Structure 1
Amino acid sequence: ENIFKNIRRQSGYNIFYNADMLKTVPPISINLTNVSIDAAVKKCLEGTNLDFKIVDKNVIISVKPTSEKSQSKDISISGKVTDDKSIALPGVSIRVKGTNFSSATDTSGHYRIKVPSENSVLIFSFLGFSTQERTVARSTVINISLQEQNQGLNEVVVVGYGELNKKDLTGSVASVSIKDLEKTPIARVDQMLQGRIAGVDLISTSGEPGAGTSVRIRGTRSINANNEPLYVVDGIIDAGDLSNINPSDIESLQVLKDASSTAIYGSRGANGVIIITTKKGAPGKDVFNYNAEVGVAYLPRFLDMMNATEYATMVNENTLLANPNAVNLPYPDAASLGEGTNWTKEVTRTAPYNNHSLSASGGNAGLRYYFSGNYVNQKGIIKASGFERYQTRLNLDKTFSQKLKAGLRLNYSATVTEMNKVDIGSHAGWWNSTLALPPVMGVHDGGDVEGGFEDWNPGWYSGGVINSPVALVEMMKHDSYRKNLWLNAFLEYEPIKNLKFKSAFSNTNYFRNDSRYDPGQLPRRAFLEAGGYAVKQAYTYEKLLSENTVTYAKSWTDKHRLNLLGGFTIQKTKAVNQWQRGQGYLVDATEDNNMQATGIESTTITSNLEETALVSVLGRINYDYKRKYYLTLT
């Protein structure tokens, strides 16, 4: 392709080809001086299955017929490709579906291609136009008219406190195609953004099931402050944890990226805004949908680590390097140790994944409904880790008259997360990470599965007692329970044409309970005679939000269009956090459910209350002249 570009630049000839043709051509390097365009192209294609012809100032690359025998059986198809205004399209790619046969149109839009049979299907594709397929049948001349893609300019997108045609936007707003995601297994909403919108980066916070991601829209804005975007779900501002939403319930997802589009949300929209709208029922026949996703997750490969024999040999060699006269080597019979322990394999597994969604929708002209339920069970690749979610949603839309409408959005979810308890490999806690532990260390004392866990790490400086990854996986408890209830109700009134008043009220209730218990029988705690260690945290959060807006839309003389928005919002939040830690517990059976069973000197208790209030005034003017000149003031 680089050579073709140089030929085009030096000769002024246009070169038409299908990029798929070049995938089987090995890289080449040529140096030509004072040669004709014919000789230059012929030299480039020497030894390949490609041919060319020159028409006027155009070079058209095509695939050679495979053999004389196949050529005699092939059917020759010709024709012309134009746009919907009958203007010829040069460089249109034509290929035979399921084969390597391909060609391209010349400057007058004409083409010729060989097909193996009458059942062959021709695929016509060109940038900026909709792809078409045509079965050959008994035709030898096939003329095609390609339709120009409108790029979704008439698509209606949701912006802050309203909707606009995509072509009328002055700000940067991107949409995620929900249809493209229907066959993709997705458990969390933020996964819907992965690799689908330019300028939006997702960074995984951890590999745990159910773990969230850090979203960055057009990069990091601040060194110290929060860089997460503002989430708006069905009008609920700052919706928080997206793990409470079933991705199957989403109807549209828009990302507001620049200052023009996010200004309506003030400083809260400084990092971008993600607007999520959930599905609504449609009048007519009731529709029921059930979707099930079942799969597994596993490590596709393991790092190539030393086995026990290799590790012991290395330690012996290091000993001799330090003291060539050493007699007592750490591992006198290194060859007998074999593979030893692969700690990563000991704590990982093939993890099953289940996602079940059931929905019902329908209604009539007066009342529409959408109801859904969702269950997700995702086990972690690390043993004793996983994520489980129960979720249900109810959306109601009531039309009282042409002037008065109301709606209700209700979402409830409960999640249980079994946290990861081991370290695969990092600088912190390296002495008991699976990559740093020596393979000569066994899982159990003396290799007895019925015995206790091996706790002596010979690779930790001069050796020391640790909690092995297997001991942590099998003995430690670390869980997080979360419940979330969203309620949003709105009333919309249109007293006169084009003038609308809307009042919405939302309530968010969130509860999180985290518990952790390290039993006193964990090897290192038992060695130190420290007893059990427990942490318990309870966090509750409530938010009340009232939004009141008025909009007015007017157009006249088919040239001027004006859209006005004004309103105010009131928000109150209350957060209560209680945290307790204790150690020295003698009875492991009660875990973290008997926090008072230790002395006051071994217990730490903290609690805090935080209340906030926010009042906002907002306004926006959208004006356009002849749909060519646009003005947005916010």
Structure 2
Amino acid sequence: MKRKKLYLFLCSVITFLSVTNAQNFEINGIVYDEQGDPAIGVLVVLKETKLATITDTNGRFQLLSPVEKAIVKISGVGYQTLEVAAGKNLQIQLKPEAYLLEDVVVTGYQQLPRDRVTGSFKILPLDALSKPTTNIGSRLIGTIAGLQANTTLDGDISFEIRGKTSLNANAKPLIVVDGFPIEGDLNTLNPNEIESVTLLKDAAAASIWGARSANGVIAVTTKGNRSAFNRSETKIEFSSFFKFAPKIDLNYARSLASSAETIEYEKMAFDAWSANMPADAFNAMSSFSPGLVALNEHRLGYLTEEKTNELLESYKKYDNSEQIKKYLLQSPSTQQYNLNIATDGERANHYLSLLYEENTFYAKGKDNWKTQIGYRTNVQFAKWLKFNLSGTFTYKEATDNSVSNGIFGLTPYEMLVDEEGNRTNLTNGWYQPNLDRYFVKENFPYDFTYNPITELESRDLRTTNIDARLQAGFTVKILKGLTFDSKLQYELNNTLNRNFYSDKSYTVRATVNQSSSYDRGTGKVTLNLPLGGFLDQSRTRTDGWNIRNQINFDRVFNGVHEVTAIAGTEAR
């Protein structure tokens, strides 16, 4: 009887163990990071039962599942959460967390998720980057709080972050492109190459960039600086746009009183609080409006009251707005063509951009054109060695023969041409009545007349800019989570100014006449400068070097703890 009971007990145990073994299925495998190395401390969860474990120092894990068709969930800090079907000898490779660009803060030395950054920062919205423009600065206007923009009629933009920090010092923020500060401004960047823009605004900027960031930092990341490598793929993008605007509203831009109101004001102010008028003397070096000249000539006795009033009343009927629009203004326009070619391979990626752009501005005689070439490459020579190279070359020519400054100095009744279409003589540095009375003008080599239309046609003022920037570096993987970066940047800014004034320009004529010696007794004029045009040239060149060595540590422990640190040296 005892033997029978013992037999039944052993059968029960065997049956229990058999059932238990039949209900548990082994799941094991190895988890690798994006570089192909074993991922340590990654959390592995059996989705149906919530049973969990973490990978060991070799990236291995093992679980027992009560069901055969189970789902394994793998997650780690900085990586995407994966779900795979359960099985044996699984080979699982993690993928880095794909942060949206709006969730990544670029400090210049590193890129961090938004939730890990302290201090005040702003990120340019992604939709603003897609808008066509000639200057990335125009995309920043009105999109980021705390950024003050100043825009000229020609579209030139300057920025201030947090207002002025000094009355006399430069108020421009520091521009950082792909981790290095640049000498140029945002105009030197191809707006179609920008991938992200981050503004650092408080002490966090100063702690990174020092005194140079007293006015804030604009950190820019360009396209093509990717470190991930995919299967061979080529992507070609072409974009172009044309922008056209009517001539500026002169009444708004100049904001002057009418001719009649101006004359009445000059009559009221004359000999009261207006400027001191010249006396009847051997002195012609002064300039006043025709209305004030008529009033002064009447005071000196050269004009009767009737003639003076006749002149003033005639001036009230004139309005030079239409003539200024016709002869001195033009409709601004912009045309831009951009070609991007990106190639990704298993061990290298390349990015090439070509840009051509033309601009005409509101003032006649003012325009520019530029062409820009950009190239970037990243090469993975080995699992522990990565190389990157990028370069940008920009050639720009600008012409500014405009007389826009003279436009705002004219009274509304000073006409550019008379009723027959002949160009008039406008005041510009001379008191014409004294010049007529005390000088024999015919003895001077040039006449003393000034007309802005003639001045526009008689000069060629050009500026040529060559901007080049080269960045190169390599990254060495020392240990898991520990890397060494060595980078350098070379920057060249070369500006050539070439200003030519022909002998028909007022600049040449006035300079030669004023430098001449005049004998009041005989009216003889002795030249002290040779006749002919003026050529004024100047060149400015800036070379900049920046070398940086940096150690980076970024590692996750036990799947929940992450340690990040950087240290390095920089010379410029």
Considering the TM-score relative to the shorter chain, is it more than 0.5?
A: yes
Q: Following the alignment from structure 2 to structure 1, what is the Cα–Cα distance between the partners of residues 104 and 428?
A: 65
2:233 equivalent among 285, 290, 305? 285
Matches within 5 A, 1:565-576: 565-571=566-572
Matched AA of 1:207: L
Mapping of residues 96-107 of structure 1, within 5 Å: none
1:62-141 alignment, distance < 5 Å = none
CA distance in 1, matches of 2:361, 2:188: 19
Show the counterpart of 2:563: 562
Q: Which residue of 1 aligns with 2:425?
A: 455
Provide Cα deviations, 1:103-132, integer angstroms capped at 9, x if missing partner.
Answer: xxxxxxxxxxxxxxxxxxxxxxxxxxxxxx
How far apart are residue 255 of structure 1 and its match? 1.2
Q: Paired residue for 1:499?
A: 482
Aligned to 2:391: 410
Q: Which amino acid aligns with 2:310?
A: Y
Structure 2 Cα separation of the partners of residues 538 and 336 of structure 1: 46
* Equivalent residue number for residue 267 of structure 1: 211
Residues 1:340 and 1:197: Cα distance change in structure 2 (over 3 Å): closer
Match of 2:145 among 174, 177, 198: 198
1:326 to 281, 305, 316: 305
Contact persistence 1:297–1:381 (CA under 8 A): no
C-alpha contact (below 8 Å) 2:416/2:452 kept by paired residues: no
Residue correspondence of structure 1 range 186-265 to structure 2 within 5 A: 186-204=133-151, 206-208=152-154, 211=156, 213-265=157-209
Superposed displacement of residue 311, structure 1:
6.7
Letter in 1 for 2:460: K
- Aligned pairs for 1:40-59 (under 5 A) are none
Give the distance between the partners of 1:316 and 1:163, measured in 2 at CA. 67
**Hey, what's the Cα distance between the residues in 2 that align with 1:462 and 1:567?**
69
Aligned equivalents of 1:242, 1:154: Cα separation in 2? 20
Tell me which amino acid in the other structure corresponds to 1:369. Answer: H
1-side partners of 2:501 and 2:399: how far apart? Answer: 14
Alpha-carbon contact 1:349-1:382 (below 8 Å) kept: yes
Q: CA deviation at 1:482?
A: 0.4
Structure 1 residues 420 and 498: CA distance shift in structure 2, 3 A:
farther
Instruction: Tell me the SS of whatever aligns to 1:350.
Output: coil
- Post-superposition CA distance 1:565-604 (Å, at most 9, x none): 1111122xxxxxxxxxxxxxxxxxxxxxxxxxxxxxxxxx
Give the counterpart of 1:341 among 320, 339, 347.
320
3-state DSSP of counterpart to 2:363:
coil
Q: How far apart are 1:152 and its partner, in Å?
A: 6.9
**Aligned counterpart, 1:590:** none
Write the mapping of 1:357-506 to structure 2, written as runs, cut at 5 A.
357-419=338-400, 421-424=402-405, 433-444=406-417, 453-457=423-427, 467-506=450-489
Which moves more between the two structures, 163-172 or 326-335? 326-335
Which residue in 2 is equivalent to 1:354?
335
Find the counterpart in structure 2 of residue 176 from structure 1. 124
Q: Tell me the CA shift for residue 508 of structure 1.
A: 1.2
Question: Per-residue deviation at 1:438?
Answer: 4.1
Higher helix proportion (structure 1 or 2): 2
Q: 1:365 to 1:457 in 2, by over 3 A?
A: same
**Residues in 2 aligned to 1:313 and 1:512: alpha-carbon distance in whole angstroms:** 48
Which amino acid in structure 1 is aligned with residue 195 of structure 2? E
Contact 2:259 2:315 in 1 (8 A): no
Q: Indicate the structure with greater strand content.
A: 1
Deviations 1:296-346 (A, max 9, x none): 133452317577788778879988999898232353595699555325423
Output the CA distance in 2 between the equivalents of 1:315 and 1:501. Answer: 74
Instruction: Show the counterpart of 1:539.
Output: 540
Matches for 1:481-630 after TM superposition, within 5 Å? 481-523=464-506, 525-526=508-509, 529-530=512-513, 531=531, 532-557=533-558, 560-571=561-572
1:336–1:383 Cα change, 3 Å = closer
**Two-structure CA RMSD over aligned residues (Å):** 3.4
Shift of 1:419: 2.5
- Residue aligning to 2:9: none
Q: Is the Cα–Cα contact under 8 Å of residues 515 and 537 in structure 1 kept in the other structure?
A: yes
Q: 1:395, 1:407 within 8 Å by CA — same for their partners in 2?
A: yes
TM-score w.r.t. length of structure 2: 0.64
TM-superposed deviation, 1:224 = 2.4
Change (3 A) 1:546 1:399: same
Aligned to 1:599: none
Q: Structure 1-normalised TM-score? A: 0.58
Could you say if the C-alpha distance between residues 334 and 175 of structure 1 is closer, same or farther in structure 2, counting changes exceeding 3 Å? same
Give the aligned residue type for 1:327.
E
Mapped to 2, the partners of 1:416 and 1:240 lie a distance apart of: 16
Distance 1:160 1:328, change over 3 A: closer
Q: Shift of residue 187 of structure 1?
A: 0.8
1:394 maps to a residue whose letter is: Y
Measure the CA separation in 2 of the matches of 1:543 and 1:513: 18
> How much does 1:540 deviate?
1.3
Q: Is the Cα–Cα contact under 8 Å of residues 475 and 486 in structure 2 kept in the other structure?
A: yes
Q: Is the 8 A contact 2:350 2:376 kept in 1?
A: yes
Tell me by how many angstroms 1:473 deviates.
Answer: 2.2
SS at the partner of 1:370? Answer: strand
CA distance in 2, matches of 1:300, 1:480: 25
Match of 2:237, SS?
Answer: strand
Question: Offset of 1:389 from its aligned partner?
Answer: 1.1
SS in 1 for 2:204: helix
**Cα displacement (A) at 1:219:** 1.3
The 1:208/1:216 distance shift into structure 2, 3 A limit, reads: same
CA deviation vs aligned residue, 1:340-377 (integer Å, no higher than 9, x gap): 53254231111221011111112212111111111110
Number of aligned pairs? 406
SS at match of 1:400: strand
Superposed counterparts of 1:31-46, under 5 Å: none
What is the CA-CA distance between 1:486 and the residue it aligns to?
0.8
Aligned pair in 2 of structure 1 residues 401, 154: CA closer, same or farther (>3 Å)?
Answer: farther
Q: Secondary structure at the match of 2:382?
A: coil
C-alpha separation in 2, matches of 1:336 and 1:499: 80
Q: Find the aligned partners of 1:461 and 1:527 in 2 and give their Cα distance.
A: 13
Is the 2:336–2:357 contact (alpha carbons within 8 Å) kept by the matching residues of 1?
A: yes
Counterpart residue identity of residue 383, structure 1: K
Residue 399 of structure 1 deviates from its aligned partner by 1.3
2:276 match: none
Partner of 2:445: none
Q: List alignment gaps of at least 5 residues for structure 2.
A: 1-98, 271-293, 436-447, 514-530
> 1:227 is paired with a residue of what secondary structure?
coil
Q: For 2:379, what is the secondary structure of its paired residue?
A: strand
